[in-house]
Structure 1
Amino acid sequence: MKKNIPGVWWLMTLLVLPAGITGCGDDTEDPLPVEDAGVPRPDGGGGLPDGGGGTPDGGGGLPDGGETPPDGGTDGGVDAGPPALKAYVRFVNAYLGVKNNPSDKADAPWDPYAMEVYAGDTRLFPEPVEPGDKAVTDYQAFALPPGQSVRFTVRLAEALPTDSPVASSEDIPLQDGERLTLVGTGNVTYAGMDRMESPRLLALKEAFEPAEAGTLRVRYVTADRVTGTNRNRRLANDTGSTPYTTAEPYSADTSPGGVSIPAQPPRLAIIGSPNFTPSQSGKLFFSPPAETLVAGSAWFAITTGDDRRTLQDEGAPALLLIPAGRNGAIRLKRDPLLYFFHAISPATDGPAPAALQVLHGSQLIASNLRYGATPAIGELPVLPAGGTLRFTRSGDSSETVLADAPTGPLEAGGRYLAVVSGTEGAQAQLTLVKEDFEPTAVPTPRVRLIQASANAPAALGFGHFAVEPDGITPGAFTPVVTGAEYGTAAGPALGASFTPQVVTPASGSPYLYYGIRASVNGTVLERSVTGRPLTTPNFIVLMGDWSTSLQFRALNVRINTWSATAPEGTFGAP
């Protein structure tokens, strides 16, 4: 019968494996942190360190300990008994949940729970471990008596000794030289509850099978936010057409030896039900850096984060790639999201322009873009040098509206507004802008202006009007964004502060006077339109015909869909 660890198991920390770059004869470099996608390591080893310069033991890059185990105080020639047995353990904090957020709101400030890992009463790692960029520890070597099983527990870093642990593993029998990856999954908010999302601690022995020629091995773990039932995740190829393996929520797949996938895949897809948001495909896509997932290697692939999250911070969806037997990890941010907004004006005062679709090569990226409506959301691979897009009538790729529109560079984790503008029947134009609003925990009204009205005057200004003492009549104009030219984004990347005077009527909703200012033939013109106050960062898209139908849409970037809010009418004289 196996004995449980408390009271009978003794543990002694022997070493912490550093993660410095090797290969140049210098063992003193700083440890390498978890890195974001797109920056391969310089060591030529799939972007990861080889264990920090220790003497390899032939077991995937782990050092041999660096010294002879202690001999119990005996000297030269005296038999000290059998050598100490060692196992190697690392921890991945993939827990969900942030502090001061009992109702699990998607837009709560990123303040995650740091964890400490114990075997019995002994803490394994010198520092608490947070999820996100620093979620993966180096291996920790420890000694254990033969024949004993080990139970690991995780506790909140600030927990009192009397507090219950967040989660515990099963009793794990370990052999000399074995490697174990502990993965914390589930939502810390639900600790102690009988729920699918309750936190757990997975203990995954590294038992990967050898990879066949031209392939690598992957074991898939799901730690991203899932609710309800029948919510399995599938790891698939770049289009999602070929699933490689499936895992239940907050669990590892059932293949300890890993599944075989082609080496150096350009892109990986995660398929879930219900669909992931926000996107048209409903999938999560990740682009591994070149020369990372090389033939013959073995990896844990762990989906983390919350697809509802509106900020691209460490709580957003990500894919952790963790190599078997080697320190280090790569945290892949989600592939770029593009929010396509249709601002091509009608040629006359007749019906709205036709709906559009967007293609990247032959692949449909987004469809059913409707004039002035909430953007259609598509995903593209990471493209450091950019790519080209083609806009056609929705459902008819033969009727091109805009061909070979360049995107510019597209980064992992980036969110971009893509405004197609012009006049129906004439040459269209694409304006693509990266969302870089100031990521404050408490959202504040800030704006950037996309000038998409093809016949509006040059160097236009956007802002708001004050209110006269009568509480109703618009007064002086305050420009917030100036110098806006057609087809460009105006205003600072972090957004310009937008704090207008708001009219609060005795009945009805509060409103304000939005305004524009332009110079036409030396005459300064000002126009206004009423609309609801902004409370968050917004892209403002100015659209329509300058003379007859000039209006705007406010796109709230603190909502996953970037829903479009329209003003009460068109701009007219104040």
Structure 2
Amino acid sequence: MKKNIPGIWWLVTVLALSAGVTGCGDDPVDPPSVEDAGVPRPDGGDGLPDGGGGPPDGGGGLPDGGGSPPDGGSDGGTDAGPPALKASVRFVNAYLGVKNNPSDKADAPWEPYPMEVYAGNTRLFSTPVEPGDEAVTDYQTFELPPGQSVRFTVRVAASSPTDSPVAISEDISLQDGERLTLVGTGNVTYAGMDRMESPRLLALKEAFEPAEAGTLRVRYVTADRVTGTNRNRRLANDTGSTPYTTAEPYSADTTTGGVSLPAHPQRLAIIGSPNFTPSQSGKLFFSPPAETLVAGSAWFAITTGDDRRTLQDEGAPALLLIPAGRNGAIRLKRDPLIYFFHAINPATDGPAPAALQVLHGSQLIANNVRYGATPAIGELPVLPAGGTLRFTRSGDSTATVLADAPTGPLEAGRRYLAVVSGTEGAQVQLTVVKEAFDPDPVPTPRVRLIQASANAPAALGFGHFAVAPDGITPGAFTPVVTGAEYGTAAGPALGAPFTPQVVTPPSGSSYLYYGIQASVDGTVIERSVTGRPLTTPNFIVLMGDWSTSLQFRALNVRINTWSATAPEGTFSTP
């Protein structure tokens, strides 16, 4: 958590001089400890003013005091007026939008807008606040005369005083000791426009009702990307069958006292319309850490991020859990996404194998996983020790194809390729690989190879052929990934650079010669197949029968669906 040291000395000095208020306005909020709610307590942020002023916002709303004049009494005393009230405020930067991305592309580099917050003309936090992991400030305690309101303004950090603010709150009246959570929602790209996605500033007073035995209280806020109309979000139980509350886009639900949830939920679901991508269920799932959402606690739950993003960075979907009355926050990353790829060969030269479905216990995770096709995408809970899956024919949970297949550990915010391979009725197995390609937002061709051909030679190499002097036929072979064994992933986790020679004909599409190399009984065997050039990181799944139908699929991980690109034929001798 970033340390956000208050910058309100100017405000307090003006109030003290004009209203005769005593004290410095630097008393920090003193709520119960964060550890009580299972949230790590920040080690900094003492609430002392640092003198950080800011440019005027032109929005007004700053309390101006209005102290009483001397009362003219014989003892020369003055009427100090009523004492100033103290309130506490914190800010959550849940704004969408990244710099240099006016067309709102999903794969733009993650360069978010840091924000500064003002109470009237006075900057409240000395450090700009960015969305993502450090989106939530500590509480800031300040003073204002009783009966006066305050207006909050959000500006892009280091912007000019003449620039329009990102958003301005309404005038807010506070009581002594009251706490306020400001939440920035909407897309900064559309500031100043009359659009649903235009940025706004929500001022949420903390007014949670007491939780009943065995329950907790949650107020839900939507700040994730939404377009169009009728796109409300619902916070629900782990399967999505029991909605707890609903909120309009970029807004808080109307239950100021919070809705009641059973304590210690193992998983929460977010339901949207249209469905969230890229998953078969169409929902967002989150797994809170154990002993976080305990009985008697109260929380703001804020969905953030953009479900279109293909990089698992801080712009990806997340659920912010912010405890009421306590500093600190937990940013839950989306539950792991599993991309299921069907590479089980038919037992004969007949039709392709039947489509598959995937079950985790009794729960259907993915369905209609078709041979060699674009993966079906399911979501599993966070499983530090891993779990097991069962594969059956689609629509028939009794027709088991593979039982008790281990997944290995599954982490929040990560994506995994799960390749089920072998031959119908024999040698079927599951290979699960974590996607960890180079996260550079500028995509470059990189590959990892999953060897899913059960009867291919051991220690196989994958690469490309140069083009012979005639400009048409393949020349020398260059291995890119070597030592591939059946049922394993070969190549570095970041991906091996893949920069082949490309053939560009006078007409038609460019292509290259993909190749494999193996040693059989001391004889080196090389085979090639033509295909389109790669431009992004790809998983290469080698599949089919070594003797008759060896081929591959390229899965582009910079597309949310990981669309499968097939070569123009099968591998053959050049």
TM-score, scaled to structure 2: 0.89
- Give SS of 1:428's match: strand
Q: 1:252 to 1:21 in 2, by over 3 A?
A: closer
Q: Decide whether the 8 Å contact of 1:18 with 1:138 is kept in 2.
A: no
CA contact (8 A) 1:20 1:51 kept: no
Once the two structures are TM-superposed, the CA of residue 435 in structure 1 deviates from its matched residue by 0.2
- Kindly provide the CA deviation profile for residues 345-366 of structure 1, in whole angstroms up to 9, marking residues without a partner as x: 1111110001000000000000
In structure 2, the partner of 1:48 is 40
Compared with structure 1, are the counterparts of its residues 19 and 423 closer, same or farther at alpha carbon in structure 2 (3 Å cutoff)? farther
Partner of 2:145: 145
Residue 48 of structure 1: how far off its partner (Å): 3.3
How many corresponding residue pairs? 530
Mapped to 1, the partners of 2:281 and 2:85 lie a distance apart of 50
1:265 aligns with 2:265: yes
Distance 1:329 1:360 in 2: 31
Contact 2:87–2:174, Cα closer than 8 Å, also in 1: yes
Aligned-residue offset at 1:14:
3.5
Question: Secondary structure in 2 aligned to 1:270?
Answer: strand
Secondary structure of 1:533's aligned partner: coil
Change in CA separation of 1:365 and 1:516 when aligned onto 2, cut-off 3 Å = same
CA distance in 1, matches of 2:15, 2:539: 57
Deviation at 1:78, TM superposition (A): 10
Letter in 2 for 1:114: P
**Alpha-carbon distance in structure 2 between the residues aligned to 1:490 and 1:464:** 16
CA RMSD for the aligned pairs? 2.3
2:237: which partner in 1?
237
Assess if the C-alpha contact under 8 Å between 1:91 and 1:181 holds in 2. Answer: yes
Q: Give the equivalent residue in structure 1 for 2:5.
A: none
Q: Indicate conservation of the 8 Å contact 1:9/1:148, yes or no.
A: no
- Where in structure 2 are the equivalents of 1:324-473 lying within 5 Å? 324-473=324-473
Residue 281 of structure 2 aligns with which residue?
281
Q: How far apart are 1:20 and its partner, in Å?
A: 13
Q: SS of 2:189's equivalent?
A: helix
1:517 matches 2:509: no
Question: Once the 2 structures are TM-superposed, how far is the Cα of residue 8 of structure 1 from its aligned partner?
Answer: 13
The CA deviation at 1:287 is: 0.2
Distance in 2, Cα, partners of 1:15 & 1:411: 41
The match for 2:305 is 305
SS in 2 for 1:427: strand
Distance, in Å, in 1 between the alignment partners of 2:31 and 2:498 is: 47
Give the Cα separation in 1 of the matches to 2:44 and 2:478: 59
Q: Is the 8 A contact 1:17 1:138 kept in 2?
A: no
- C-alpha deviation, 1:423, in angstroms: 0.5
Aligned equivalents of 2:337 and 2:168: distance in 1? 37
For residues 477 and 305 of structure 1, what CA distance do their matches in structure 2 show?
44
Contact 1:16 1:138 in 2 (8 A): no
Structure 1 position 290 matched with structure 2 position 311: no
Q: Does the Cα contact within 8 Å between 1:342 and 1:370 map onto a contact in 2?
A: yes
Query: Is contact 1:9-1:145 (8 Å) kept?
Result: no
Q: Residue in 1 aligned with 2:248?
A: 248
Deviation at 1:45, TM superposition (A): 3.5
Secondary structure at the residue paired with 2:518?
strand
**For the Cα contact (< 8 Å) 1:18–1:51, is it kept in 2?**
no
Distance 1:202 1:305, change over 3 A: same
User: CA separation in 1, counterparts of 2:458 and 2:28?
Assistant: 61
Gaps of 5+ in 2: 1-10, 17-23, 48-67, 69-76
8 Å CA contact 2:237, 2:268 repeated in 1:
yes
Q: Distance in 2 between matches of 1:19 and 1:178?
A: 12
For normalisation by structure 1, the TM-score amounts to: 0.89
For residue 534 of structure 1, what is the aligned residue in structure 2?
A: 534
The residue type paired with residue 188 of structure 1 is V
Q: In 1, are the aligned partners of 2:345 and 2:421 still within 8 Å (CA)?
A: yes
Distance 2:187 2:517 in 1: 50
Structure 2 counterpart of 1:213, one-letter code: A
The question of whether the paired residues in 2 share the 8 Å contact of 1:19 and 1:49 is answered with no
Contact 1:382 1:411 in 2 (8 A): yes
Taking the TM superposition and a 5 Å limit, the aligned residue runs for 1:544-563 are 544-563=544-563
Matched to 2:345, the amino acid is S
Cα deviation for residue 82 of structure 1 reads 4.3
Q: Kindly indicate whether the alpha-carbon contact (under 8 Å) linking 2:37 and 2:292 is maintained by their aligned counterparts in 1.
A: yes
**Structure 1 residues 525 and 53, CA gap change in structure 2 (3 angstroms):** closer
Contact 1:19 1:327 in 2 (8 A): no
The Cα offsets for residues 86-114 of structure 1, whole Å up to 9 and x where unpaired, read as: 11000000000000000100000000001
Query: What do residues 246-284 of structure 1 show as CA deviations (whole Å, max 9, x unaligned)?
Result: 000000000000000000100000000000000010000
1:28-74 residue CA offsets vs partner (Å, 9 max, x unmatched) = xxxxxxxxxxxxx9x4542232897989xxxxxxxxxxxxxxxx9xx
Matches within 5 A, 1:153-172: 153-172=153-172
Instruction: Tell me which amino acid in the other structure corresponds to 1:255.
Output: T
Shift of residue 18, structure 1, vs aligned partner: 9.4
Alpha-carbon offset, residue 315 of structure 1:
0.2
Residues in 1 aligned to 2:255 and 2:30: alpha-carbon distance in whole angstroms: 28
Letter in 2 for 1:449: L
Note if contact 1:20-1:49 (Cα within 8 Å) is conserved in structure 2.
no
AA at the equivalent of 2:435: E
Whole-angstrom CA distance in 1 between matches of 2:46 and 2:125: 19
Q: 1:10 to 1:265 in 2, by over 3 A?
A: farther
In 2, Cα distance between the equivalents of 1:17 and 1:485?
61
The answer on 1:122 being equivalent to 2:122 is yes
Distance in 2 between residues matched to 1:480 and 1:253, nearest whole Å: 53
Query: Following the alignment from structure 1 to structure 2, what is the Cα–Cα distance between the partners of residues 500 and 87?
Result: 64
Question: How far apart in 2 are the matches of 1:526 and 1:335?
Answer: 42
Report 1:188-207 matches (<5 A). 188-207=188-207
Mean Cα deviation higher: 158-167 or 265-274:
158-167
Cα distance, 1:212–1:20 mapped onto 2, change above 3 Å: closer
Code of the aligned partner of 1:498: F
Deviation of 1:473 (Å): 1.3
8 Å contact from structure 1 (residues 393, 399) kept in 2: yes
Deviations 1:167-193 (Å, cap 9, x if unpaired)? 011110011110000000000000000
% identical aligned pairs: 87
2:88 maps to which residue? 88
Higher deviation after alignment, 8-17 or 89-98: 8-17
Aligned-partner Cα distance in 2 for 1:129–1:19 = 23
- Measured in 1, the distance between the counterparts of 2:32 and 2:520 equals 62
